[in-house]
Structure formats: structure tokens, C-alpha cells
Structure 1
Amino acid sequence: MTATSGGLVAVHAHPDDESLTTGALLATWAASGRPVTVVTCTRGERGEVIGERLAHLEGDGPALAAHRDRELGRALAALGVRDRGYLDTIRGSVDQRFEDSGMEWVGTGRAGRPDEIPPGAFVGVGLEEAAERLARVLRSRRPEVVVTYEPDGGYGHPDHVRTHEVTQWAVDFARSRADDASPAFDVPVVLWSVQGRLALQRGMRALGGDAVLAALGGLRDDLELPDPTAELPSVAVPDDEIELEVDVLPVRTRVLDALRAHRTQVQAVRAIDDDSALVGCYALSNRILAPVLPTETYRRGTGGSGDVAWPDGVRPVA
């Protein structure tokens, strides 16, 4: 990671989360000429793998980690992000490897901790230790904005939940602690990634429409459509709780290219031009289609001390 000042720091659990969750914000921020840093907490060693060509990587933690690191590099290049690093390398060397904790499905759209937590799992790392590492990044970069997941991690994945906790503690540590290399710093704005429930349901319904069928062709026969009437994951909030919107269309090509870079994790990435409810689609290893909504949305998190001048394409919701 290289030294910068100002800008935005995004904190994510695994490679691919930065593109799936905050891709439009990262691309828009980078396109404005402002510095962007992405901190990834694990290398996704226990992720499922899409496709026969790369299937040999599944279950081989070191090999999958190395491959996903390369995918992350290509995705961030597509988004225009140059500054990135893993949380366990903040001190310059890996003295304690932070690994993917794994997960178990515990309900519709809801993940939880696996029965057995593997050695080195991120959820087993001391919260204060991990947060102090991230606080060093915040004191060094002095960002205008820090962005991560909402408290339940979007859908309950234990690494996402822990990433939220680490980020919130780090924002507090950056303000309340200092070291010889960097003075204390009060982050102006903390953002949590969320989606409006009605907008998400509209996008989900649109996945069954003619525009998506035309874009996917016969591939859609191998994919499942989501149920917009089912219980939604925790990322979905009442639409009136949305506080910030990012226009996706101006950076859609960058976002979709970033998603395509994560070939082990993301498939069926397509641009959709003829439906106002979505601007793209993709599927993960579960083969369930998901919409890329016209706006990427956020709410203000706890810990921010002020406000910032937003770049074009990013706007507060009155």
C-alpha cells in the first residue's frame, strides 16, 4: 500500500466484495481524481469456485487465495483503484494470517458461522488487534469517507459482520489513539452499504423480463430467478433510510468489468439497457440471478464527524 491523503477507504471481507458491494462508488471516486484505498480482510480461501476449468482450486486454500488475489488486482484496475492491501499485511509482513472463516446458510438469504471455525479464521482474530491495524491505515490515509457493510454484514456472513465491527472500532481508534508515525484523525463520514427494499424487489422482478432474457440468451435456462416476495437479506432497508446514491450507469462498464475479473466467484455478467429497474445482472456460485440496480445506495454509519463535498455522480438523498 502506498501513502496517500484524503479520499476514500473501503473495507471488505473478501476479494469480489469491493466490486459487488461498492463498485460504483469506488469507480466514481477514482474517476474524480481523488485517492481510493481498498483494504481486504481475507483472501477468500474458503470460497466456492465457479466452472470446471478452475474447479481444482476449491478446497485448496493457498492456491485459491493466490488466484483470487490476482482477480482482485484486475478488478481494482478496472475500477481505477491503485492503492490496496490486506489487513494482515499492514505492518509490512504477515505475522498473523487472517483467513476466510467460511459460512453456513441458516435461512433464506441468511448466512451464519460454520459449526467449526478453522484455524486462522478472521472471526477468531482479536477485535482490538485487527481494528488497530486498520486504524493505522486511517491515520495514514486520512480519508474523507470510510465505507463498509451495515452491522449484519449484508447477509450475515461472519467475515462481513466482523469487518463491520473492525471498521467501526478502527474509526474510533483513529480518533482516540495516535502513534509516532501518524497523529490522531477524525473520519468525517462513515458509510454503510445498503439497498432500498422496493428498489431491490423491482430489480429482482425485472430479472424475469425480456431485456434480461435477450442479454443472457440460452444461459438463463441454467440460472434461477430470485423470489422478490421472500425474506430479503439485511442489506435491504426501507427506501426512506437511504441517505446517499451513486449513479451506476456512468461507470457501469468499469463495474461490470470488475465483476467479470472475479471469474471464480461471479458469472453471467451482462449489461441491461432496456429496463429502468436495473442496468445489469450477474449470478454467484448459487446460480441465482441478481440485479445491478441503477443506483448504488448507502446510509450514514456511526462515527463520522462531519460532511464532505461529494464528487459528480454521488448525491445525498434529501
Structure 2
Amino acid sequence: MSETPGHRLLLVHAHPDDESIGQGATMAKYVAEGRGVTLVTCTAGEMGEILVPGLEHLAADQDDTLGEHRRGELDDAMAALGVTDHRFLGGFGTYRDSGMKWHEDGHAVAADEVHDNAFWHADLTEAATHLVAVIREVRPQVLVTYDEFGGYGHPDHIQAHRVATYGAALAAVPSYRRDLGEAWDIPKVYWGAMSETRMRAGLRSLRDAGDTTTFEGMDPDGPLPPFVTSDDNLAAMVDAQDFHEQKMSALAAHKTQITTDGPFFALSNNVGSTAWGIEYYRIAKGTRGEVGDDGLETDLFAGL
């Protein structure tokens, strides 16, 4: 029986690929350092768009088998990051991707028609209790999920935030569902974030290089979408540039959702490892530990 790592990180994400986009480099870095990394994915991404020619038949309005395909993509992405503990909330197929549409203001909202089994319709206590079981088993010191808007308004991201927040609270209650194990109070909770300063610098580099299509419509000096966070809200910055290639490999594994000539790779190719190898966080619970010269923690486990 392998020894339980002293530091344990739990991430709660909505769909396969969200984890690699948001915290792929951090995950790879912590695995390499011998820390425990557990990923809980809430849906299989059944309603995602399909970017691979020839696989359109997987779509929800055709064979409706995209979820199973993305399950394989997630396996490949986690292999690239070295993560061996990844699960679906309540088990694969318990909750379905809710889908989304774009609001005229530029953020995501719930689709006009939502499947009966959609995660957006999940009973909050039931879904959170599935997470309680994982929390009490893994006993993480750090939890990472989305902010209350899910970054850009996707209903599944918002629901993942709610489930993670409520699940963490319930897991700490000694008298709640004793059958799921001994209570565990997660010391630190973070919300993934994108630095405004870093995003503007990246956009400026792209525009200076003549690239006007990557993140089309975004002006380095203009308004930015809601997933970009003012730097004064940031609490931690994990420099995992040495694991930039692992993150890029994980992104490439999500072939139906992310293309190697898309914005993530364009920004990476133009700006270098700083584009996606440095990941930012807002603290939602707990006390910050030691910080660097910029006032940010460099390790999510700082102070523990």
C-alpha cells in the first residue's frame, strides 16, 4: 500500500479540458513534487462542440457519444500531467453536460433546452454529498474550483462552484453523513483566476506580432471578458513554467475541443512558457502563507 502524500490537492471542474486549461501546469508540478492531486470532473462534456473533422457523428444531436469519447481524452490528458486519481462526480454518467448559449453581453448562459439529467438541474445537496465522500476519503488541504460566475457564466461552471463550496462545508460537519467517513475541514480553498496584467501583456504581444484573430475582438487596452481578474484580487501565483510542455500536451489531448492552431497554442507560441505555465488563484477560504515580493503566494500549500 502506497504512503499517502503529505500535501493533497483536490480540483473540482465541470467538463474534461477545463482542468488542463485552468490548472494543468500546477497539477503537473505538484505531481512531480510528490504531492497528491485528485481531479473531480462533474460531467463528461456531452454537449461540447466538435472540432475534429470526421467525428461530428459523436454530437448530441446525432450518435450522442461525445461524452464517452471525451472520457478517453481526459485519460490521455491526465497521463500527460501525471495525474492518476481522476474521477467523475457520482461516477461516470451521473450528471450530463448542460450545454450553454451566448448572451448578447458576451458571457455564457443556460441553453434554451436543458436535458433532464443536466448538471445545471442537479439537486445541490445530492451532488455536494457525492463530493463529501471524495473529500473525506482524500482529505485534501487545498481545494481549487471556479469563482461564483464560473469564469464566464457557463451554467456547469457555476454549478461546480456551488457543489464544491457546499460539499466542502458539509464535509466538515461531524454529524453529517457519518457513513461517508470522518469529517474533514479543508484548510484552504482557491478559485482559479486569470491575471489582468498577464492577459493584457499576452494580447499586446499577439497584436504586435500581427495576430488579430487569436482572442479576436479583445483589445489589450480595452475591456476584457469576465474570466480575467484584476490583479488586486489575486492571492497566489504558481510558477510552473518547467511544466509548460506537459500542459500543452494535456491541452492537445482534448482534440475534439482544442485545436493546436487555436488561441491557447497561439498565445503560448508567441509569448512562451509564461503564457500558460504561470497560473493564478484567488483565495476563498483560509489564511495566506508566505508571499513573494509581488505579494502573492508561490505555493497553494503555503502556511500549512
Which amino acid is the alignment partner of residue 117 of structure 2?
A: G
| Offset, 1:230 | 5.1
Q: Which residue of 2 is the match for residue 151 of structure 1? A: 148
Q: Which runs of 4+ in 1 moved over 4 A?
A: 2-6, 220-224, 271-275, 306-310
What residue identity is the alignment partner of 1:190? V
How many pairs align?
A: 287
Amino acid of the structure 2 residue aligned with 1:279:
G
In the TM superposition, 1:194-205 aligns within 5 A as: 194-205=193-204
2:73, 2:255 within 8 Å by CA — same for their partners in 1?
yes
| TM-score computed with the length of structure 1 as normaliser | 0.81
What corresponds to 2:218 in structure 1? Answer: 227
User: What stretches of structure 1 of length at least 5 have no aligned partner?
Assistant: 214-219, 281-290
Shift of residue 234 of structure 1? 2.4
Distance 1:139 1:36 in 2: 15
Give the AA of the match of 2:284.
G
* Matches for 1:91-110 after TM superposition, within 5 Å: 97-107=94-104, 109-110=106-107
Shift of residue 62, structure 1, vs aligned partner: 4.1
Inter-CA distance 42–4: structure 2 relative to 1 (3 Å threshold): farther
Q: Matched residue of 1:292: which SS?
A: helix
| Alignment partner of 1:241 is 2:233 | yes
Question: Kindly, what percent of the aligned residue pairs are identical?
Answer: 36
Distance 2:135 2:290 in 1: 19
**Which secondary structure state, in structure 2, belongs to the residue aligned with residue 11 of structure 1?**
strand
CA distance in 2, matches of 1:260, 1:34: 24
Q: Write the mapping of 1:32-43 to structure 2, written as runs, cut at 5 A.
A: 32-43=33-44
* Structure 2 unaligned residues grouped into runs of 5+: 292-296
In 2, are the aligned partners of 1:193 and 1:235 still within 8 Å (CA)? no
Quote the offset at 1:204 in angstroms. 1.8
Aligned to 1:84: 86
Kept after mapping to 1: 8 A contact 2:214/2:266: no
Q: Secondary structure at the match of 2:15?
A: coil
Corresponding letter in the other structure for 1:263: K
Q: Does 1:260 align with 2:291?
A: no
Where does residue 279 of structure 1 map in the other structure? 272
Quick check: which one's strand share is greater? 1
Residue 69 of structure 1 corresponds to which residue in structure 2?
71
Kindly provide the amino acid, as one letter, of the partner of residue 45 in structure 1: E
Checking the alignment, whether the CA contact within 8 Å between 1:41 and 1:87 is kept in structure 2 is yes
Give the alignment's Cα RMSD to 1 decimal. Answer: 2.9
Equivalent pair of 2:100/2:154 in contact (CA under 8 Å): yes
Deviation for aligned residue 1:54? 2.1
With over 3 angstroms needed to count, the CA separation of the structure-2 counterparts of 1:106 and 1:4, relative to structure 1, is: farther
